């Protein structure tokens, strides 16, 4: 039997938890990088083959930097009931604590939270040990998205719960100290798969793509492409009672797994950006996630950088591809969340680079320029996490942190790159004690946040 792609190569899971201290550093780590880079992904226990990549148990990997030193690396499974085989569905309905907790990890209200969109978040200690399920002191009785958004001006955390059964969509807001302020069901939502969303200064933006609940899907993740599911964008005013004023606008068929950002332009239009695929691109990804033998590879079917512009006055939405590379995992300087940003970063996949390598990409939205930083055959960088060099600098005055796995040497390094110019050599490289499997999402957590 052919091994599942998510259990081989860059994605091959590690079999244990380990800690290493006093890591070797090449170059000079900027002293302002004092905190933790924590990343998360699916890492099933040895001997377990999940039916879908997303069903593998979560494992977090952390790198502790302090004042120019790399103090430690450690990896830990998120010890949820699912790690020990507890089912998500029970005779009483879903068990919101039986989470893989393997998609993302964030900090909010001084807590580290490992996230999976079908369940409650799991709290971790600063040393990555599992505390347990966190339900906002009983205020959260639904699942939580793996892609919450923090407003940089207010510190509020916006997140949602999506379900294939009613209520299909609930929007939540938490105060900066971790208190749920309000929850509201969003009318008009459907059973379409909703993985990410966006904020602007005055609105919450939801995308429903052409992927819907399908109980016949046997991978354990019951969703599939649907020509009958209309693609739509929902624009909801922020604030108490905003859900009752949501407006839904039709889009071209497609699906966007991740969004880079959204904002209101000078004319009051809602601009949303992120990679998007059509039917062929979705099926190609799905076949990989489930380990199907045919990935359905076709030229130009990968995710392309896309911009949607919704005119609230006319009710019309325009859509355009803004680049021709296959990209995913878009990031920005989070200080610009909900505001117009100039720079955007992404991971480019080798199908369209021509040299068979992955690369990090930087887009300058003001000039249209694109920079790529290829990493060479057998090397895979993680999603680039932007960390500002200090307060008050230019939007790209800071660092990109990426963990690069190298199959050539069975090793991994944390690279610190100058975000202002990807052509520059790395500012620093931290040698990690093992090959770190390819991961999904993560965050830089400064010491001041914990």
Strand partners, 379: 406
**pLDDT for the residue numbered 350:** 82
Give strand pairing partners of 63. 37, 73
**Banded model confidence at residue 295, pLDDT cuts 50, 70, 90:** low
Q: pLDDT averaged over the chain?
A: 95
What is the DSSP code (8-state) at residue 410?
A: T
Reported as a single tens digit per residue, the pLDDT across 413-441 is 999 999 999 999 999 999 999 999 999 99
Average pLDDT over residues 60-88: 96
- 38 touches 54 (CB < 8 A): no
Give the pair of three-digit tokens for residue 145: 């998205």
pLDDT band at 273 (very low <50, low <70, confident <90, very high): very high
- Is residue 260 predicted with pLDDT exceeding 80? yes
Q: In the predicted model, is pLDDT for residue 322 greater than 80?
A: yes
Q: Is 441 annotated as a binding residue?
A: yes
pLDDT surpasses 80 at 287: yes
**Closest Cα partner for 276 from 260, 256, 259, 262?**
256
pLDDT at residue 262 above 80?
yes
Q: How far is CA 282 from CA 141, 162, 177, 211, 271, in A?
A: 31, 20, 38, 9, 23
Determine whether 347 is exposed, middle or buried from the number of CB atoms within 10 Å of its CB (0-12, 13-18, 19+). Answer: buried
Contact between 115 and 103 under an 8 Å Cβ cutoff? The reply is yes
pLDDT at 351 over 90: no
What pLDDT does residue 89 have?
A: 85
Band of pLDDT at residue 294, cut at 50, 70 and 90: low
Per-residue tokens: 112: 């580290």
What CA–CA distance (Å, rounded) separates 90 from 100? 16
Cα 130 to chain centroid distance, Å, stands at 21
Asked whether the bond before 15 is cis by omega within 30 degrees of 0, the reply is: no
* pLDDT score of 320: 97
Render pLDDT for 297-315 as a digit per residue (tens, 0 to 9).
566 678 999 999 999 999 9
61 in a known ligand binding site: no
The per-residue pLDDT for 301 is 77
pLDDT band at 1 (very low <50, low <70, confident <90, very high): low
Name the least confident of 117-126, 293-302, 308-317.
293-302
Query: What tens digit of pLDDT does each residue of 373-390 get?
Result: 999 999 999 999 999 998
| pLDDT score, position 352 | 55
Widest Cα–Cα separation across the chain: 59
Side-chain-side CA neighbours of 242 within 13 Å: the count stands at 17
Beta pairing, strands 270-276 & 304-311 = antiparallel
Q: How would DSSP label each residue in 16-63? A: S-EEEES--EEE---TT--EEEEEEEE-PPTT---SSGGGSPEEEEEE
Q: For residues 294-303, b (16+ Cβ closer than 10 Å) or e, as one string?
A: eebeeeebbb
């Amino acid at each position: 039997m052919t091994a599942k792609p998510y259990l081989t190569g860059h994605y091959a899971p590690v079999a244990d938890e380990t800690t290493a201290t006093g890591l070797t550093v090449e170059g000079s780590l900027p002293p302002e990088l004092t905190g933790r880079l924590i990343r998360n992904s699916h890492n099933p226990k040895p001997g377990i083959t999940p039916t879908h990549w997303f069903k593998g148990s979560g494992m977090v990997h952390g790198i502790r930097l302090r004042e120019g030193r790399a103090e430690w690396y450690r990896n830990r499974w998120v010890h949820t009931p699912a790690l020990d085989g507890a089912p998500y569905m029970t005779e009483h309905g879903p068990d919101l604590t039986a989470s893989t907790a393997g998609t993302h990890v964030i900090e909010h209200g001084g807590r580290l939270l490992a996230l999976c969109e079908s369940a409650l978040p799991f709290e971790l200690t600063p040393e990555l040990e599992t505390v347990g399920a966190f339900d906002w002191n009983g205020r959260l009785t639904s699942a939580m998205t793996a892609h919450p958004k923090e407003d940089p001006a207010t510190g509020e955390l916006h997140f949602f719960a999506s379900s294939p059964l009613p209520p299909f969509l609930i929007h939540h807001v938490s105060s900066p100290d971790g208190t749920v302020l309000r929850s509201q069901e969003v009318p008009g939502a459907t059973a379409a798969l909703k993985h990410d969303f966006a904020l602007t200064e005055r609105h919450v933006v939801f995308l429903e793509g052409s992927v819907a609940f399908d109980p016949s899907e046997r991978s354990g993740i019951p969703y599939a492409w649907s020509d009958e599911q209309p693609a739509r964008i929902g624009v909801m005013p922020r604030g108490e009672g905003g859900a009752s004023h949501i407006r839904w606008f039709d889009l071209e068929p497609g699906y966007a797994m991740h969004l880079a950002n959204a904002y209101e332009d000078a004319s009051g239009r809602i601009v949303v950006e992120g990679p998007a695929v059509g039917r062929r691109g979705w099926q190609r990804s799905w076949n990989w996630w489930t380990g199907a033998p045919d990935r359905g590879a076709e030229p130009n079917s990968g995710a392309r950088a896309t911009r949607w512009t919704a005119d609230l006055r006319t009710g019309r939405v325009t859509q355009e591809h803004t680049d021709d590379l296959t990209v995913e995992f878009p990031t920005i300087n989070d200080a610009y969340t909900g505001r117009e940003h100039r720079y955007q970063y992404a991971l480019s996949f080798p199908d369209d680079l021509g040299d068979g390598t992955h690369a990090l990409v930087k887009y300058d939205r003001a000039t249209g320029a694109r920079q790529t930083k290829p990493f060479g055959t057998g090397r895979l960088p993680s999603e680039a996490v932007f960390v500002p060099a200090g307060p008050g600098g230019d939007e790209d005055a800071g660092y990109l942190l990426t963990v690069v796995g190298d199959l050539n040497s069975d090793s991994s390094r944390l690279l610190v790159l100058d975000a202002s110019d990807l052509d520059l050599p790395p500012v620093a490289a931290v040698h990690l004690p093992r090959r770190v499997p390819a991961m999904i999402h993560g965050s830089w957590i400064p010491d001041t946040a914990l």
